[in-house]
Amino acid sequence: FRYAYIVESKYQLESMKKELAKIEETNQSLKIQLSKLKSLDRIESVARTELGMIEPNLDSIIFIKSPDFSLAMQNERKQEKTTREADYGALSVMNKINAIMNIFN
């Protein structure tokens, strides 16, 4: 019985090794394919030939004025500060309650 179990286990192990080798081969192939697809030369070629894209020249560039985000940033910082202060206040209250509880213990 043990001999049959050992033989079957070895068979399963060999089968798994073969499967692992196939998976590793597929993985390597996919890595190569991915590196080809990520190639900047290929991306440029696809952009030009399939998507009809061209590089901009000075006549095709349009500059726009972006909105002033400084006021929004200031408001966001104020809100973060208020939140931090509120969190600190709640933490301070909890620390005081713990200190009082420790006095009675």
Amino acid at 23: I
Higher pLDDT, residue 10 or 72: 10
pLDDT over threshold 90, residue 44: yes
Would you state the pLDDT for residue 32?
Answer: 96
Token couple for 24:
């590793």
pTM for the model stands at: 0.44
Q: Are 47 and 53 in contact (CB under 8 A)?
A: yes
Q: Tens of pLDDT along 58-67?
A: 888 887 777 6
